[in-house]
Structure 1
Amino acid sequence: MKQNNQHIDEQLLKAILEETSSDQDKQEFQKWIQADSANKDTFLKMQKIWKSSKGIEVFQKIDEAADWKIIKAKSGKTVQLKKVNLFMQYAATVLVLLSLSLVYLYQTTPGFGKYAEYKSLQTKNQIVLADGTEVFLNKESKIVYPKYFNSKVRNVEMEGEAYFQVKPDPTKPFIIKSGNAIIEVLGTSFNVKNEMDGTTIVSVNSGKVSLKNQKTQEIVYLTKGEKGIIQKRKVSESKNEELNFNSWKTNVLTFKDTPIAKVFSDLENYYGVKITNRSAKLDTLTYTNSFSNAPINKVIDELELVLKVHITKKGNHLSITDDKN
């Protein structure tokens, strides 16, 4: 590529900045630098902007927007400097837009800056937030939270199921957005569960919780031993009679005169199995027992002994029939 000492090809400059230039390019570049001290100053400014906006195709965008063609000698040094200044203006604009984009990503994008995102896949996990709040995530659940709680409220979002032990702070309410629910507390422990149909269930273990439907703004207040349910546009509260609402966290299953159908439902939820009951005699029975960190085979043995039935396990399916003995 040929040029005089007052002009330089844009592609050559691009190659120099990207460190992909050939030996011939480098020689031509050195001639241009040595021809005028202003050329060196101009290049150093270009280099600073280039490094700041590294990773963005600045030159190609400027070609398309400004039609910056190869600077030719016919217009002399004045035109050449005008073109370079034009480049500087566009490059500075790109840098400003990049900075704004980075600020936006930092403020809004989980995992990028201000917010973090944690997903549990096939395992249960525990995380501790910046304020000391402990969050226990059930399988296939997600939470989005600030890396630091600098505002007047502590906002998080979650999907799936999680148990919260919120660090008390009367000056900063802890607010959870989950499905159609907005849950607000100061310091307490409770379980939040999203059902497949969009229902959100909040079960309080200690303290006081407010549960609000985002769509209707209807709100209920829950205390220890109570649960609130948001189902479509309706919000309800009641005594929590679900003994195993947080068994996924405690690894303890408790049954007290529990109808067999409910026993099987809780076992299905906890162990991830499907139970088919072919024993009619069980329909009217209740069951009392407790299991702590028990493998499924131990539970099967206990049920067969107490209920006088036979249980066949194939993969994740349990089939229950009357004991032939």
Structure 2
Amino acid sequence: MGKMNISQEHIIDLIQEYQQGRISEEGFQKLQEWLKEDEANADEFAKYLALFKESGALSNLDKIQKEDAWLNISKSLSKPEKKSKVRRLHTWLPYAAAVVVLFAVSYFMIEQVRTDYDFGEDYNFAEVSSIGSKKAVLTLENGQKVNLEENDKELITEADGTLIQKNADSELIYDNASSSKDRVLYNQIDIPRGGEYSLVLADGTKVWLNSESSLRYPVQFVGNKRKVELTGEAYFEVTHNPSKPFVIESHDTEIKVLGTSFNVSAYDDEEHISTTLVEGSVELSCLGNKELLKPGFQATVKKGDNRFKVEKVNTTLYTSWKDGVFRYKDQSLEEICHQLSRWYNVEFFFTNHKYREYRFTGAAKKNKSLNFTLELIEKMADVQFAIKDDKIIVGKPE
């Protein structure tokens, strides 16, 4: 039997109809034929089935494997040159229950009172956005600024003899084997909107920095602790050294570790600081209060407060950004747009406050255009996007 002439979108519709118990006899027969066509289709079917169940119940997200179902949606759903509107799979994703919004309302998410937005038009969101890339600005001890791009191979020597170079993965590497320890020098790396970068500090600690983030750190670590200062978001893999703790300072919060892997989100324009521990242990302190975090848990503290909220989480949801994937579980559309705005360097506006609180469970690859990402959201949630004055409008026809 030859390969079925059926689109990926049609398959998605059939699986969703099957999950809801409303598939027709003809549709069920097509689904069976598709399943028999290729062994890999059975795995894809199970993933989509889990997706629709999870989206409805918002429970047991761990059943969805690392390669989330919609990561493999056909490219035909989103062509880079032109965005095509897609038919809604369902309208039951938004929930009426009140939710706690973790992030402060940002300046670029002001609600619009106008209603003259044409959500039915085919928009090319790539015209007002750009896909992020590896880029940063390195500030040396003497104030010299060095633009770091993905393909450059510049070798820098600091005043103390430390060599700063890039490896094949565009990581910044600090080698102080031939440096002197007469005085402590500091460098700072700043990541712009639409950027990300990683570096290996002098002690071997590896740091991934997200968009709109900044890290200040010594060129070499001397004394009885290794201290850095963070604004924004970063993932750390700290080299183990029991005699010299690694300390991260961010706003009023201090995070002390010996050797571990964890994520810290501490943006200036967000009201909470979150630390998510993957392995090892960390001690957090804020305005006199301390908290010891265990692997698989996240501690969140509101700026200006010292009370930590600690809960068990799926750490992948908070660390996958460094591996090129955005993952969400029951996350508000406001939070999602906040993250996308940094990576795609674009501004979002909401036509109504209620759209901010729409919940979304899903994933999208960061190397896809914004067209692709917004289509995924449109396909899985009851909301649409439009363009007005180089801004992306979030809402739907009223």
TM-score, reference length from structure 2: 0.46
- Once the two structures are superposed, residues 246-287 of structure 1 have per-residue CA deviations (whole angstroms, 9 ceiling, x without a partner) of 454233112345454554454445444443444899688643
Q: Distance in 2 between matches of 1:114 and 1:121?
A: 23
CA contact 1:222–1:237 (8 Å) conserved in 2: no
For residues 254-293 of structure 1, the aligned pairs below 5 Å read: 254-268=327-341, 270-278=343-351, 286-293=359-366
Taking the aligned partners of 1:283 and 1:148, their CA distance within structure 2 comes to 44
Deviations 1:183-236 (A, max 9, x none): 1101111222323267533222221110112xx321111122322225214231
Residues 292 and 176 of structure 1, relative CA distance in 2, 3 Å threshold: same
1:301 is matched with 375
Residue in structure 1 matched with residue 273 of structure 2 by the alignment:
200
Report the counterpart of residue 298 of structure 2 in structure 1. Answer: 227
Amino acid of the structure 2 residue aligned with 1:184: K
Instruction: Look up the SS of the partner of 1:167 in the other structure.
Output: coil
User: For the structure 1 residues 268 and 140, does the alpha-carbon distance in structure 2 shift closer, same or farther, using more than 3 Å as the test?
Assistant: closer
Gaps of 5+ in 1: 1-101, 103-111
Q: Report whether the alignment pairs 1:136 with 2:214.
A: no
Q: Which residue of 2 aligns with 1:145?
A: 217
Instruction: Say if 1:163 and 1:141 are closer, same or farther in 2 by CA, change over 3 A.
Output: same
Amino acid at match of 2:297: E
Query: Which of the two has higher C-alpha Rg?
Result: 1
Aligned to 2:244: 172
SS at match of 2:275: strand
Counterparts of 1:114 and 1:307 in 2: how far apart (Å)?
Answer: 52
Aligned to 1:245, what secondary structure does the other structure show?
helix
After TM superposition, the structure 1 stretch with the greater mean CA deviation from structure 2, 180-189 or 269-278, is 269-278
Per the alignment, residue 218 of structure 1 pairs with 289
**What is the one-letter code of the residue matched to 1:138?**
N
Residue type of the alignment partner of 2:186: A
CA–CA distance in 1 between the matches of 2:237 and 2:278? 9
Cα 1:230–1:210, aligned 2, differ >3 Å: closer, same or farther?
farther
Q: In structure 2, do the counterparts of structure 1 residues 315 and 128 end up closer, same or farther at CA, with 3 Å as the change threshold?
A: farther
Coordinate RMSD, CA, aligned: 3.5
What residue is the counterpart of 2:282 in the other structure? 209
Separation (CA, whole Å) in 2 of partners of 1:322 and 1:156 = 45
Task: Please give the residue correspondences for 1:1-325 in structure 2 after superposition, counting only pairs within 5 Å.
Answer: 113-122=183-192, 123-196=195-268, 199-213=272-286, 216-228=287-299, 229=301, 231-239=303-311, 241=313, 244-268=317-341, 270-278=343-351, 286-293=359-366, 294-307=368-381, 309-314=383-388, 317-322=391-396
Spell out, residue by residue over 1:8-65, the C-alpha distance to the aligned partner (whole angstroms, 9 max, x if none).
xxxxxxxxxxxxxxxxxxxxxxxxxxxxxxxxxxxxxxxxxxxxxxxxxxxxxxxxxx
Contact kept, 8 Å, 1:251 with 1:292, in 2: the verdict is yes
- For 1:227 and 1:119, locate their aligned partners in 2 and report how far apart those are by CA, in whole Å: 26
What residue is the counterpart of 1:27 in the other structure? Answer: none
Structure 2 residues without counterparts, runs of 5 or longer: 1-158, 160-181
Instruction: State the secondary structure of the residue aligned to 2:204.
Output: coil
Query: Which of the two has greater helix per residue?
Result: 1
Q: Which range moved further: 311-320 or 230-239?
A: 311-320
Given that residues 173 and 185 in structure 1 are in contact (C-alpha distance below 8 angstroms), is that contact kept between their aligned partners in structure 2? Answer: yes
Describe the SS at the equivalent of 1:288: strand
Q: Quick one: which amino acid aligns to residue 237 of structure 1?
A: K
Match of 1:98 in 2: none
Give, in whole Å, the separation in 2 of the partners of 1:316 and 1:238: 40
What is the SS of the residue equivalent to 2:386? strand
Q: Report the count of equivalent residues.
A: 213
Provide the C-alpha distance between the structure 2 equivalents of 1:281 and 1:218, rounded to a whole number of angstroms: 36
Q: Distance in 2 between matches of 1:217 and 1:195?
A: 21
Q: Distance in 1 between matches of 2:354 and 2:274?
A: 33
- The AA in structure 1 aligned to 2:362 is N
Closer, same or farther: CA 299–151 of 1 in aligned 2, 3 Å:
same
Highest relative contact order (Cα 8 Å, sep 6+), 1 or 2?
Answer: 2
Using the TM superposition, give the Cα deviation of residue 117 of structure 1 relative to its aligned residue in structure 2, in angstroms.
1.1
The Cα offsets for residues 269-311 of structure 1, whole Å up to 9 and x where unpaired, read as 5444443444899688643332112221111222333446542
